Amino acid sequence: MKVLVPVKRVVDANVKVRVKADNTGVDVANLKMAINPFCEIAVEEAVRLKEAGIASEVVVVTIGPKASQEQLRTAMALGADRGIHIETDEELVPLSIAKLLHSVQEKEQAQLILLGKQSIDGDNNQTGQMLAALAKMPQATFASEVKIEGDALTVTREIDGGLQSVSMSLPAVVTVDLRLNEPRYAKLPNIMKAKRKPLETFSIDDLGVSLKSHQNIVKVSPPSQRKAGVMVASVAELVEKLKNEAKVI
């Protein structure tokens, strides 16, 4: 069984980002970049499936500038077998990303596509669902447990009321949640081996996909500063402020 894992290059989760002076976006110059944390969980799960003898090959794919190959090499150091890089300097919306991934899936014919449920920069939570619709494949979102027996896939997913188990046949698309697993650290020998693993590079034109601009960013601004709280002497004073000042009761 082949597993396809899309990964995204994002600013490291531990780095504090700043908005550009002209409010056109986030300033990423000279910032540490990393694999999106949810994507890293998807890579870990795919590698575990391979170690369990369920998957035979793990292929990672990313869409972005040439520097994105660094994240592909990191994923291969974690255990992926090969990488696919769709090189573009454009900022693509989820639908465009899903179309490109669908083109890759048509070429690779993977039995399972594992994605992070969302990226920590756009926070859209859309790409996996759109990809499943384009590929006409069953899907499970917010997976906290994945089990495969033959051609049957069972996913435990987190919902507002607790946990839900869904079953479907392969091939399928699964988006993963934080509690699915804890990603491993890449060991130095594996980092060196990853440099020799195959990595294919394509352009958008190579894939024969025509993309349109579906949305425009008008302005990016940091969140407003939180106002200082007010200390009250009694419950009665608190109720009075909530009623007359905040007007929430």
pLDDT score recorded for residue 227: 82
pLDDT score recorded for residue 91: 87
Amino acid at 228: A
Q: Give CA–CA dist 63/55, Å, rounded.
A: 24
User: Could you tell me if 143 and 174 are in contact, meaning their C-beta atoms sit under 8 angstroms apart?
Assistant: yes
DSSP labels, 127-157: HHHHHHHHHT--EEEEEEEEEEETTEEEEEE
Closest CA to 84 of 59, 56, 102, 111: 59
pLDDT score recorded for residue 197: 96
Q: What is the DSSP letter of 79?
A: T
Amino acid at 182: E
pLDDT score recorded for residue 26: 87
Closest CA to 91 of 9, 172, 150: 9
pLDDT score recorded for residue 194: 95
The structural domains of the chain, ordered by start, are 2-244 (3.40.50.620)
Predicted confidence band of residue 226 (pLDDT cuts 50, 70, 90): confident
Chain segment 138-180, per-residue pLDDT in tens: 999 999 999 999 889 999 998 888 899 999 999 999 999 999 9
- Indicate if the pLDDT at residue 214 is higher than 80: no
Averaged pLDDT score across all residues of the chain: 93
pLDDT score recorded for residue 72: 97
- Indicate if the pLDDT at residue 221 is higher than 80: yes
Q: Give CA–CA dist 47/34, Å, rounded.
A: 19
Lowest mean pLDDT among 61-65, 164-168, 209-213: 209-213
- Indicate if the pLDDT at residue 105 is higher than 90: yes
